[in-house]
Amino acid sequence: MDSEQIHAQIERLVQQEQSLRSAGPGESAQAHAEQLRNIGEQLDQCWDLLRQRRARMDAGEDPDAAEVRPVGEVEGYRQ
């Protein structure tokens, strides 16, 4: 996935997140919270992949060698 595709995926995920937040939890607050959590994790993975690609480009390496990291790894980063 190239950087443009990643940005497009981020935009889709942000739109989904905004739709879910504006719609409210509906009948199942737990399912709603799970969907929001899942979208958040996917967004974190996308941003991580973009950072990897940029770091590889800055180092003169192939940005296409960057790979999506597991949610547990991405979510475990210290901010």
Residue 79: is its pLDDT beyond 60?
no
Percent of the chain residues topping a pLDDT of 70: 97
The tokens for 46 are: 């996308």
3-state secondary structure at position 25: coil
- Rounded Cα gap, residues 39 and 18, in angstroms: 10
- In tens, the pLDDT along 42-55 reads 999 999 999 999 99
